[in-house]
Amino acid sequence: MESKETIAAISTGMTNSGISIVRISGDEAFLVIDKIYRGKATLSGAMSHTIHYGFIVDMGDTIDEVLVSIMRAPRTFTGEDTVEINCHGGMFVTQKILATVIKNGARLAQPGEFTKRAFLNGKMDLTQAESVMDVIQSQNEYALHSSIGQLKGNLKRKIEGMREMILYHTAYIETALDDPEHVDMENYGKELLPVIEKISEDVRRLIESADAGRLMKEGINTVILGKPNVGKSSLLNALSGYDRAIVTNIEGTTRDVLEEQVRVGGIVLNLMDTAGIRETSDEIEKIGVDRALKYAEDADLILYVVDASRSLDENDEKILDYIYDRKFVILLNKSDLNVQITQEILQNRIKEKYEENFIINISAKNGTGIEEFVEMLKKICFRGELRLNEEVYITNLRQKEALQRAREALGKVEESIGMGMPEDFYSIDMMDAYEALGTITGETVGEDLINEIFSKFCMGK
């Protein structure tokens, strides 16, 4: 169990704003607030889940006019006595209130410590705790919806269901091994096999959802390919304007290109800006394409822009050869002009390799075709299944790795059954799967991992 030290932090943002919240949690939360709050009554006597007007004072000096929320354990986020001071949102005044709180008995909370306590006090499992951060970091509707689903316990229930099944059957085997005279194991393998296969299939589906989950959460790493002057920059502009979304420039972390983040139809595209590669002379144009192809190597998606008013040349051939086994969309731009290249021509060029039509006529200049492009994006990146539904997506690598371990262990169980091995063989692997799944909900994780997970949280959460 966590030590019951009372902790405090600023739970709102670190810039001046209308209101800030200083949160206090722990056994002494009311003791601390009583020392620094002046109002109609002392707050330690107040009813739970009430809010009180008054002032925060430090040794006789009034610091700010505040509203204080009183929430008693266990019906609080952390499961502990909790006080939230709503003060004026200047950083100076907020920090001064926090300092006063700390001077009067609380200690500064570590990042994620409130949520860590919520987890340790059994208010939520690890999937829910992790989803708290996902909700905060959500950048689009799909990611937010999926995070809220996880916060509500969708993933937790799924994992718990699987674990219950595994435990039930493991217990049966163990009992039978202990008491062979009374518990019948005849043909048990045959009975167990479909159960294990079903769990294994559910685990596989969750693993599969991880790709979509990652794209949803982090955005689709996208490279725009195409020769100079085909309209790549114009496309970028058209996409940026589409949602009237915020377009941000973020420095590429692993490479020296700029990444631009745009939101189209609720989907976030992390666009590698290869515009810098644009050069003029023919020889350099070729080098430019080569370099852009290199960037495309670990992209989730390639947008290949073709100028429909000009015929294809060897650079286009090179790109077409390159993209054939990747996720791509060909955008036939400048469709408002006299077109030389049609969808059919391109379709024939790539016919052997694809069945689906990923070629769209657009005009970056007029903004036509962009909507169709967005629909196609959803189809390609989310197998058309990207809807605001109750489907559970895995969005985090830790969960995915645990699922893979579980799947491996379940595979071994299937194998042992197939080979007619003795029952105690299954139960070892079943317990491995049980354990691996337990790391997802946090039932079977060590303190180190817990500390590591919560250290990635933001301050005050």
Q: Site residues (CB under 6 A) for ligand GDP?
A: 226, 228-234, 275, 278, 333-334, 336-337, 363-365
Q: Least Å distance between CB 317 and ligand GDP?
A: 18
Nearer Cβ to ligand GDP (173/364): 364
Q: Least Å distance between CB 226 and ligand GDP?
A: 6
CA atoms within 13 A on the CB side of 205: 11
Decide: residue 159, CB within 10 A, 0-12 exposed, 13-18 middle, 19+ buried.
Answer: buried
Q: Least Å distance between CB 335 and ligand GDP?
A: 7
For the beta carbon of residue 47, count every other beta carbon within 10 angstroms. Answer: 7
Displacement of CA 119 from its chain's centroid (Å): 19
Enter the DSSP assignment of 458: P
25/109 Cα distance (integer angstroms): 9
Nearer Cβ to ligand GDP (232/407): 232
Q: Which two tokens stand for residue 295?
A: 């960037």
Q: How large is the C-alpha radius of gyration of the chain? A: 29
Nearer Cβ to ligand GDP (230/436): 230
Q: Least Å distance between CB 336 and ligand GDP?
A: 5
Assess contact for 85 and 19: CB atoms under 8 A.
no
Q: Least Å distance between CB 353 and ligand GDP?
A: 25
Enter the DSSP assignment of 13: -
Q: Least Å distance between CB 305 and ligand GDP?
A: 6
Phi first, then psi: give them for residue 261, nearest 5 degrees.
Answer: -105, 120
Nearer Cβ to ligand GDP (205/278): 278
Q: Least Å distance between CB 234 and ligand GDP?
A: 3
Identify which of 407, 416, 435 has the alpha carbon closest to the alpha carbon of residue 202: 407
Q: Least Å distance between CB 301 and ligand GDP?
A: 18
117/95 Cα distance (integer angstroms): 23
Peptide linkage before 74 cis (omega within 30 of 0): yes
337/334 Cα distance (integer angstroms): 6
Nearer Cβ to ligand GDP (141/336): 336
For the beta carbon of residue 320, count every other beta carbon within 10 angstroms. Answer: 18
Nearer Cβ to ligand GDP (80/285): 285
Nearer Cβ to ligand GDP (8/277): 277
3-state SS of 309-358? Answer: CCCCCHHHHHHHHHHCCCCEEEEEECCCCCCCCCHHHHHHHCCCCCCCCC
425/280 Cα distance (integer angstroms): 68
- CA torsion 308→314→316→318, rounded to 10°? 170
Nearer Cβ to ligand GDP (79/226): 226
Q: Least Å distance between CB 308 and ligand GDP?
A: 9
Nearer Cβ to ligand GDP (213/226): 226
